[in-house]
Every structure is written in structure tokens, then in C-alpha cells.
Amino acid sequence: MKWSTSLLGLLSFIAVVVNGAENPRIIIVGAGAAGVAAASRLYQRGFRNITILEASQRIGGRIRTTPFGPGIVELGAQWCHGEVGNVVYQLASVYPGLLKSSIIADEDAVLIRSSGARVPEAVADRLQTMAEGIIESDQRDSFAGSLGDFFTQKYWQTLATPAYKDISRDLAEQFLVYYHNYERGYTAYDSWFEVAASETDSYVEPAGNQDIAWNGKKGFSAILDIVSGNYPGTTNTSLTPVPINSLVKYGKFVSNIQWKGSSDGDVIVKAQDGTTYEADNVIVTVSLGVLKENSATMFSPALPTVNQQAITGLYFGTVNKIFVLFDAPIPEDFPNTVHLLWYKSDLTALRQSPHAWAEAISTFFRIDNQPNVLMAWMNGAEGRRAEYLLNAPIRDGVLHLLKIFGKGLKFGNVTGILRSKWSSDRLFRGSYSSRSITTENLNTGARALGTPVRNAANEPVLLFAGEATNPVHYSTVHGAIDSGFREANRLIRYYG
């Protein structure tokens, strides 16, 4: 039989009251995608005593849609990656016109050398296909060294075959450096020599378009309204609108969680401003970077070994963006996606110039719905160091690269610069998680990080959500939302 929405809501509420503390007190630390998802799922199942402690003055976390020029840009999460098995796509695609294929999804990415010459499309496609084949090779599973060692070895072996005799040594070396940069940006690590070739967990890519852009004034932030049942025109009557803003207390940087806080089983949460909160359960959704920096003092007593090893072993890297606004559209002949390939002599000259930081830029992207805006994608340690530079040298470095890789093209005057600084921001300390050699050596991973901490009565008092706790969809918004739903469902089952 089909249950009515009102009856389902009543049953949810009754379950909360009957099988546990009446109206259990639940604190969620962090109002990013995972925190909003957890709070929404709980609220929509009848839980009402929910408090979200958010250290900043906004919701969204690493979703950071920001006004820039005549429109918006995404300082954090930018594209919806995939369709099948992606909760973000499943939730958002029911709204006509909200999602569209990004202009970077045209398969027209161009490799440009520092001479200004473009690598012929057929050659670039062959090299790219070969590189992807090495990355996806089953032979990785039996290789004892790093991914960098594995890739480099297989790369040069493959290029030595007759099928690639037309590829010059210069181009081969340049492509190898580029592809390393590509992988660094994709997985947010500094070097593929820090990553094990053989991984016990692997990211599962949802099938379908990997570069889906957002329409509308709210950009990616619209997903927060959809999850919480507040998106205009919501037709899913099972999603009770969640008063997120009334649940959130802003400016609350959580400094300590006493998960064996009192004799009656309360969890005591302390914020840096001196305020204290008591709860029956706490869901921690802060970034892995924040856990790495603060977990030793954040939890009393110390976390169990399984959680500690995951925090230590999982990798948390940084990818940053620079958005440049011009007073004229980007030249038509500049491709939607440009990957940078350096001659050794040119790279040496760059390193000796005032623009040395610009080595961090691996790719330029055009921006959907913003014809006058160009985005530079920065990786690794160089990108982190660039966070501390002023806008003027950043602007000059970008223009220097455009003279090299946009040779002969006339760009307008720069009228605005906007950039992310994920590493130096104490509320994040990086962009997203991945696995490393340390992860494999400690035999840990996202599942271990998401293991709930139980008290002496075997009650799940401390729970963890966030993209870094998702074994198959780490590093993504859909992974974060899935994890928030997962931990909310854990409490729903416990109380119900």
C-alpha cells in the first residue's frame, strides 16, 4: 500500500519519541554539503532538536558560489560529475534548465606548447588515450611502487613501440609533465610519487557527462536548497522545507568535543568563543584538513585508533582557482580548455622570473555564462604558496602566461581578480581528499574515517560525514551529500 506523506511524517515523529530520548539533541559540526544533507534528512524524518555549529558566516563549505562581474563563479565545487549514481544529478535534474553540459565538455581541450604552437589534435588524442590506459591498467594492482613510478615506466615503454615513433622526445617529455599536472589537479595531490600504484579503494566515476554546469543565479549553491526542500518550485512533497538558517549558529569554531562528556551520557561540545552545548549525538562534517590540524585537541578522550589512522593516512591536497575578468570577451580563437606544455628552457626562464609562482597554473578554462571571464587552475605546493601573493603579481603572472600560450591573441584589460585560498583558510586547510602511499601502508581509508565512535553503552555518540568519509565518491559534492544522508540514516535507524 502507499502511505500518505502526512502519515509518514507522523510515524517518523512517533519513532523518534518512542525508541529513545524524547526529541534527541543532535549537533552537526559544519554547514557544508554533508552537514546540510544530514540536518535535512533528520529534520524531514521528524527530528527537530538539531543545532548546526558553523565556524564561518555562511553555509555551503566548499560549495562557494560568488558574484563576479555580471554573473557568478564557483570558487569551490564547479561541475556536477556524472549522472548515473550521482545524488546531485538525481536531485537537480528534475528541474528543467537548472543543469546543462558545460562548454568545457566539448572534447576540444587543446595542448599548447610554450612556443605558442598547438599539438595537433590527432597526436594529442593518441597521447591522452595512451595515458588514460596506463592510469586505468590492471597492472597497477601488482606494482609495488608509486603511481608516478608505474606511470613513468609504462609511458616510456609504450612510446618505444613502433606505434609512437613519430612522437619527438621533446613532446614526449612535455606531455609527461602536463599529464602529471592533469592528475594532480584531478586528485589534489602534490605528486604522483606520493600515491601508491596499487590502491585498496578506488573512486567510482558515475556514468554520463562528467562536466555538467549550473544555470541560475545561485549556481552550485542551488543544491543546498534542493536538499533542504527550499528550492523554488520543489515538487517532491516528501521533502519538508527545512529552516536551515534557524538551525545554524554561525561563528562557532568547535574546539573540543567531549564524547564521554558527562555521567549521564551527554556529549559536550565547546566552541572557541566559550559557548558550550550538550547533545545526545554529534555528527562531525568538517574537512579532513581541519581534522588533521585539530583532531589531537578536538576530541576528549582521543579518538579510537581506527579514526586516528584514517585522519593521518588519508591525503588532503589543494587545488586553487584564479578568475580573471576582462573588459572584453575572451578572444574567439582561444579554446575552451587549454593545457600548458613547457619546453625545459622556457620553464627554466619562468622559474627565474618574477612570475615563478605561475608554474602552478596547469590549465585555463572558459567559464559558462561568463564570456569575459577566464579561469586559471593551480595545483600543488606552488599553488599554495601563491595564496599569499597580492592580486597585482597574480594578474601580471596570468597575463604573462597568456602572452605565451595565447600568442597573437588580443585580450582585453583586466578589470577584476577573484581567487580561492583553500589551504591558508583555517576552516578548510585544503580542497579535497585522496589516497596516498601512507593510506595504503596504514591499511586505512574513507570507510575507517567514517566509523562511528560509540560509548560504553554501544550508542553511536560521535559520527563522521563529509567527502573524505565516502569510500567510492570521495573528493566530490555528491560524495559529501551521500555521507550526510548516511549518518542521518544511521541515527534514524538507531532511534527508530
pLDDT tens readout for residues 230-284? 998 876 777 789 999 999 999 999 999 999 866 677 999 999 999 999 999 999 9
> pLDDT band for position 7 (50/70/90)?
very low
Side-chain-facing half-sphere of 327: CA atoms under 13 Å? 4
Q: Can you name the CATH fold of 26-62+211-316+427-495?
A: FAD/NAD(P)-binding domain (3.50.50)
Write out the three cell numbers for 64. 562557494
What pLDDT score was predicted for residue 2? 29
Residues 6+ positions from 204 with CB-CB distance below 8 Å: 85, 472, 473
Q: Are strands 254-258 and 299-300 parallel, antiparallel or unpaired?
A: parallel
**Contact call for residues 337 and 110 (beta carbons, < 8 A):** yes
Please count the other Cβ atoms lying within 10 Å of the Cβ belonging to residue 386.
24
Residue 384 has pLDDT above 80, yes or no: yes
Q: At what angle do helices 5-18 and 477-495 cross, to 10 degrees?
A: 60
Determine the Cα–Cα distance for residues 214 and 440; give it in Å rounded to an integer.
Answer: 36
Q: What is the mean pLDDT of residues 349-357?
A: 96
Q: Can you say whether the dihedral through the CA atoms of 56, 427, 322, 413 is positive or negative?
A: positive
3-state class (DSSP) for residue 46: coil
Determine the Cα–Cα distance for residues 468 and 430; give it in Å rounded to an integer.
Answer: 12
Determine the Cα–Cα distance for residues 348 and 12; give it in Å rounded to an integer.
Answer: 64
What pLDDT score was predicted for residue 399? 98
Residue 334 has pLDDT above 50, yes or no: yes
Q: How far is CA 220 from CA 104, 289, 330, in A?
A: 16, 22, 23
Write out the three cell numbers for 299. 576530541
Residue 14 has pLDDT above 60, yes or no: no
Tell me what the pLDDT averaged over the chain comes to.
92
Query: ∠ CA 403-405-408 to the nearest 5 degrees?
Result: 55
Q: What is the mean pLDDT of residues 165-192?
A: 93
What pLDDT score was predicted for residue 207? 94
> pLDDT band for position 19 (50/70/90)?
very low
Determine the Cα–Cα distance for residues 253 and 235; give it in Å rounded to an integer.
Answer: 36
Residue 107 has pLDDT above 80, yes or no: no
> Which residue bears the cell 560521535?
462
Q: Is residue 406 packed enough to be buried (19+ CB in 10 Å), middle (13-18) or exposed (0-12)?
A: buried
Write out the three cell numbers for 165. 615513433
Please count the other Cβ atoms lying within 10 Å of the Cβ belonging to residue 38.
32
Q: What is the mean pLDDT of residues 415-438?
A: 96
Residues 6+ positions from 126 with CB-CB distance below 8 Å: 164
> pLDDT band for position 380 (50/70/90)?
confident
Determine the Cα–Cα distance for residues 50 and 324; give it in Å rounded to an integer.
Answer: 40
Q: What is the mean pLDDT of residues 174-178?
A: 95
> pLDDT band for position 203 (50/70/90)?
confident
Q: What is the mean pLDDT of residues 160-185?
A: 94
Query: What's the pTM value of the predicted model, to 2 decimals?
Result: 0.93
Please count the other Cβ atoms lying within 10 Å of the Cβ belonging to residue 400.
15
Q: Is residue 426 packed enough to be buried (19+ CB in 10 Å), middle (13-18) or exposed (0-12)?
A: exposed
Write out the three cell numbers for 365. 578554462
- Domains in the chain: boundaries: 26-62+211-316+427-495
Residues 6+ positions from 2 with CB-CB distance below 8 Å: none
Say how many Å lie between the first and final Cα of the chain, rounded.
21
Determine the Cα–Cα distance for residues 238 and 44; give it in Å rounded to an integer.
Answer: 8
Mind listing the pLDDT tens digit for each residue in 52-86?
A: 999 999 999 999 999 999 999 999 999 999 999 99
Q: What are phi and psi of 369, to 5 degrees?
A: 65, 10
Residue 319 has pLDDT above 70, yes or no: yes
Determine the Cα–Cα distance for residues 180 and 178; give it in Å rounded to an integer.
Answer: 5
Write out the three cell numbers for 70. 555580471
Q: Are strands 50-54 and 26-29 parallel, antiparallel or unpaired?
A: parallel
Q: Is residue 285 packed enough to be buried (19+ CB in 10 Å), middle (13-18) or exposed (0-12)?
A: buried
Determine the Cα–Cα distance for residues 180 and 193; give it in Å rounded to an integer.
Answer: 10
Q: What are phi and psi of 41, to 5 degrees?
A: -60, -45
Lowest mean pLDDT among 2-11, 54-63, 202-211: 2-11
Identify any residues that bridge with 60 across adjacent strands, giving them in sequence order. 32
What pLDDT score was predicted for residue 16? 52
DSSP strands (E only) in 313-451 = 315-317, 319-326, 337-341, 361-367, 370-379, 414-419, 432-434
Compute the residue count for the chain: 496
**Contact call for residues 112 and 405 (beta carbons, < 8 A):** yes
Is the bond into 301 cis (omega within 30 degrees of 0)?
yes
**Contact call for residues 333 and 407 (beta carbons, < 8 A):** no
